[in-house]
A and B are shown apart, each in its own frame.
Chain A
Amino acid sequence: MQSRLPILIFALVMAAIPHLPGMPPFWIVLLDNIGLTALVAMGLVLLTGVGGLTSFGQAAFVGFGAYTTAVLSTTYGLSPWLTLPLSLVVSGLLAVLLGLVTVRLSGHYLPLGTLAWGLGLFYLFSKLEFLGRNDGISAIPPLSVGSYRMLNPGSIYYAIWVAVILSALLTMNLLDSRTGRAIRALRRGHVAAEAFGVQTPRAKMLVFIHAAVLAGLSGWLYAHLQRAVNPTPFGAQAGIEYLFIAVVGGAGYVWGGVLGAVIVVVLKEVLQSYLPLILPGSGQVETIVFGIMLVALLQLAPGGVWPWLMSLLPERTSGRKPDTSLKLEARTRAQSQSNVLLQVEKARKQFGGVIAVNSVSFDVQAREIVALIGPNGAGKSTTFNLITGVLSATSGSISVLGKKVDNAPPQEIVKLGISRTFQHVKLVPDMTVLENVAIGAHLRGHSGPIASMLRLDRADEAKLLAEAARQIERVGLGEQMHQLAGSLSLGQQRIVEIARALCVDPMLLLLDEPAAGLRHMEKQRLATLLRDLRDGGMSVLLVEHDMGFVMNLADRIVVLDFGTKIAEGTPATIKTNPEVIKAYLGVAA
């Protein structure tokens, strides 16, 4: 994704800072605090900015990390290095528990839910006897390597910043991978990601655990920096503060988390030390000014400071084109003698009193282009959603290659080789065309999150990207490969969706109004592409309003009106069918 050089320079600068002559020790303390905060904010970037899951509860995970090592290293005398993995595991396990309850909450329940358990856990920390109640735990042993004991802020500085830079690297590696693309697709809703086999609950849980472990790491470091813990820094206020650090820095960017930590920690420090000089005597003036500045900052840069800074730099769009000679293994196909790929029998879908699809039956054969047409509201897109498992049918059955797949989830349907596009384009606008299309090949890759973080996924990843690049060139968007999907015209975005669907290596392609928003030439190119795909052995089922396009392309047409099939046949017979003409044009009384 990015070159490593800036990070290396950053690491060298951070390593050099304590050795600068005349560096005030107080600055080192500040940098320690920034590092600890940045770790938590980084987790929130992944969780909130990238994954779209807002959490107020991160301070509680810092608390889990800190209290775990505090209890184990004082009461049980364990070495701090032994408690490090234990702190991370405790944070991670509790994230699983809390995640099971909260991650599935949609929309606004989630942040409020996290606020609730964040508060609850804070009170628990301050009431439990073995955690020392409000006084907390003191006399925690310092970190030590051999005989070198990290007793002061200057010596633990390295431990903190090594942790920050390593975590940033691992997090960025994760984002730039198969799993990372699945995570980045979460924010745009479940349906698109699930249509390509992403297990969205698992992906959400993964970011939740990742963020919690980073917070636990911060807590572990905090406990050994302060050598004492008490409940105050793990309360709801702190949880809220971590969130706004991520937002101020730029919630979608790993370095935004670090920058946010710098801005907020430094701003608070400056306000605390200099404001009393300007406005003496008055209590909490710094809180007032801080709050006002926060609001002002958001009004000036609602997207965060990091993306705003980046937009000042000269633009670099020199993404390398993947090596398309690498081949991805073809999807394993189900063995079947049947020539009928898809059989819809008396499918019915009822929403309350509205019957959207009423006992519709039709089939799609191998090497065939079937068009589903009908006036607006005829139930075409609902039929698509029934076939792809987004909605479950009220009654009737749907079979693929002779096997019933009623009410199978979308992730299972795509495994059978049925892929789709959407009527309302569902791409991730801030991902490149290449990355968006690669989501289509999700099921054809194998690397998990750990492999991705450690960069053991590169061979697998290169093949996925090669496949994506090949499909992008096939649909004629090679030029736009490295542009952000959101910057393309709507027509082009529809074509990107087709490339994404082709990455599944499907036997049946479901296209929902693919020609809408295309110009004449583009429509002709699309028709040629679909004919080529059919001649190559693929079948296509498409919903379309452009009659000229459909009549020239389709082998067979199914007509729906008010949820009921009113006609089926070749384009020639449909054109003259009186029922169809009545449905489209009405009939003179």
Chain B
Amino acid sequence: MNTTIMLFLLQDGITNGAIYALLGLALVLVFAVTRVILIPQGEFVTYGALTYASLAAGQMPGTAKLALAMGIAAFAFDLFVARQALHARLVVRAFLTNIVLPAIVLAVTLYFAGQKPPVAICIVLSLVIVAMIGLYLYRIAFQPLAHTSVLVLLIASVGVHLALQGLGLLFFGAEGQRGPAVLSTSFTAGALRFTGQSIAVYGITIAFIVGLWLFFGLTLYGKALRATAVNRLGARLAGIRTSLSGQIAFLLASVIGALSGILIVPITTLYYDSGFLIGLKGFVAAIIGGLVSYPLTAVAALFVGIVEAFSSFYASNYKEVIVFMLLIPVLLLRSLAAPAVEEEKD
């Protein structure tokens, strides 16, 4: 192999790795706060990507209607839980966040859908729609199960993944889609050509990592989230509403997922079911990071991306085998390094 190919593969790997890093971060975040292993993370990716691509192609994405439907369900859940102590302020607030908001977004989407809006509007609309889906998803599917075991949450997560993937097929059809580039400039450095798209990928990934770091380190909400992650009961006793922490975590995860989708859909064709595999590679990174460390996850994600790029060049048949089997030695090292420590499960 010559250096050009190597540099090219490296660049490709880093671009993919940056996306996996974003997804890995979201998975770590959601798991730490809610104990949910977020298998539907991949659906956030495809929903974001395909909503963006549909809007850009002048079509009406079904996800906007889904957001409203889920909002109505979330409103019903809110009312049902608070049925003993309903008061006007609570009802109005629930009505505003769960019904008025998605209704307005739906109206705006309908307005823009026919007229091929500019890229920026497509991005913002897609992000808002998927963010609402993430928020209501937590309310409907996971908040009622918040007290159960990781295993039950995991299975619920599988159920959500199946439902969302089926809905994805319903909304976007079986054909793959591509979207317009976020940034259309490009320049060359030596043998390598940097597209605006890949620059956007790097920039946004770095911005998110720094942003999350600032959010968790400096803001009160960030600290509340960390407290919930460490000790749920303790956080509640300190006055943190753990359901709110869960909602924030899902909100962030869905925005990150949608953004990743928007960033890759100009580079690769995405199908309604592509998200699962992309999300899983984020998983691999998150596991290598031990599901706790953000910087380690980011580094691991770059590594996964690079390994994937090189193995698709040398042994494209075994690309997926290599990526997933990559975990085994990592897990082996972790087993040998860490002695079996008792987990208190009381």
| Interface residue ranges, A against B (CB under 8 Å) | 48, 54, 101-102, 104-109, 111-113, 115-117, 119-120, 123-124, 127, 187-191, 200-201, 236, 240, 243-244, 247-248, 251, 282-295, 298-299, 302, 390, 424
Contact = CB atoms under 8 A, between A and B. Distances in A.
B50 to A, nearest CB: 15
B116 to A, nearest CB: 27
B331 to A, nearest CB: 5
Given A288-B167, A291-B160, A298-B156, A119 B320 contact: yes
B144 interface: yes
A285 B338 CA distance: 46
Nearest to B336: A104
Given A111-B37, A120-B324, A298 B163 contact: no
Given A124-B318, A298-B152, 9 more contacts: A48-B151, A108-B31, A124-B321, A127-B317, A291-B159, A291-B166, A294-B156, A295-B160, A302-B148
Given A113-B331, A247-B152, A123 B320 contact: yes
Nearest to B162: A291
A200 B342 CA distance: 12
Contact of A101 (B145, B284, B317, B328): B328
A236 B279 CA distance: 13
Contact of A424 (B332, B343, B344): B344
A191 B154 CA distance: 26
Contact of B321 (A102, A120, A240, A243): A120
Contacts of B342: 189-191, 390
Nearest to B31: A108
23 contacts: A54-B151, A54-B154, A108-B291, A109-B287, A109-B290, A109-B291, A112-B37, A112-B291, A116-B327, A117-B324, A123-B318, A123-B320, A124-B318, A189-B342, A243-B154, A247-B151, A284-B165, A285-B170, A290-B162, A291-B163, A292-B159, A292-B163, A302-B152
Contacts of B178: none
Nearest to B174: A283
Contacts of A302: 145, 148, 152
B283 interface: yes
A243 B150 CA distance: 13
Contact of A288 (B151, B163, B345): B163
A299 B142 CA distance: 9
Contacts of B39: 240
B345 A285 contact: no
Contact of B340 (A104, A111, A115): A104
Nearest to A287: B166
A291 B166 CA distance: 9
A295 B152 CA distance: 9
A108 B37 contact: yes
A119 B166 contact: no
A261 to B, nearest CB: 15
Is chain B's interface secondary structure helix, strand, loop, or mixed overall? Answer: helix
Nearest to B292: A108
Is chain A's interface secondary structure helix, strand, loop, or mixed overall? Answer: helix
B346 interface: yes
Contacts of A102: 331
Name, among B156, B280, B317, the residue most crowded by chain A CB atoms within 10 Å (CB to CB).
B156
A575 B118 CA distance: 84
A108 B151 CA distance: 10
B300 to A, nearest CB: 13
B327 A189 contact: no
A579 to B, nearest CB: 33
Interface in B279-324: 280, 283-284, 287, 290-291, 317-318, 320-321, 324
Interface string B112-148: 0000000000000000000000000000010011001
B287 A107 contact: no
Nearest to B280: A119
A168 to B, nearest CB: 22
For the complex of A and B, the 7 pairs showing the least CB-CB separation, nearest first, are A291-B163, A294-B159, A291-B162, A287-B166, A288-B166, A116-B327, A120-B324
A294 B321 contact: no
B236 interface: no
Contacts of B332: 101
A113 B165 contact: no
Contacts of B144: 299
Contacts of B170: 282-285, 288
B163 A109 contact: no
B164 interface: yes
B158 interface: yes
A104 B335 contact: yes
Nearest to B157: A295
Contact of B165 (A101, A287, A292): A287
B88 interface: no
B334 interface: yes
A420 to B, nearest CB: 14
Contacts of A117: 324-325, 327-328
Given A123-B321, A298-B156, A113 B327 contact: yes
Contacts of B155: 243-244, 247-248, 294, 298
Contacts of A190: 340, 342
A294 B328 CA distance: 31
B341 interface: yes
A105 B331 contact: yes
B324 A119 contact: yes
A513 B95 CA distance: 53
A287 B163 contact: yes
Nearest to B291: A108
Given A189-B343, A424-B344, A244 B167 contact: no
Nearest to A245: B155
B161 interface: yes
